[in-house]
């Protein structure tokens, strides 16, 4: 695996695939940094909301990948 030192490279010098790798890597790092800062600030209510939201990520991803059946006739009736 190629190591890309993002502080020493011009993104224009990277291939499209390498730019995507850098973007995804930095996205993960920033998310982890934010979690480290925000997690200690959660109280009972916000912690519960966060836990619920996290628990729904799997089912929502499954629905997005599989799709959801839509009753087009019912939708048409509702829009009238």
18-49 per-position pLDDT tens digit = 999 999 999 999 999 999 999 999 999 999 99
Residue 4 and residue 29: Cα distance in Å, rounded? Answer: 14
Half-sphere exposure of 38 (CA within 13 A, CB side): 9
Tokens 């190591």 belong to 3
C-alpha 52/C-alpha 42 separation (Å) is: 13
Per-residue model confidence (pLDDT) at position 2: 84
Asked if 22 and 6 touch (Cβ cutoff 8 Å), the reply is yes
The answer to whether 19 and 11 have CB atoms below 8 angstroms apart is yes
pTM beyond 0.85: no
Tell me: the pLDDT tens digits for 41-76?
999 999 999 999 999 999 999 999 999 889 999 999
């Amino acid at each position: 695996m190629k190591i890309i030192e993002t502080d020493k490279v011009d993104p224009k010098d990277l291939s499209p695939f390498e730019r995507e790798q850098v973007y995804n890597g930095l996205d993960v790092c920033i998310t982890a940094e934010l979690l480290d800062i925000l997690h200690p600030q959660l109280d009972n209510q916000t912690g519960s909301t966060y836990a619920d939201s996290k628990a729904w990520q799997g089912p929502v991803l499954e629905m997005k990948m599989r799709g959801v059946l839509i009753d087009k006739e019912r939708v048409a009736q509702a829009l009238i």
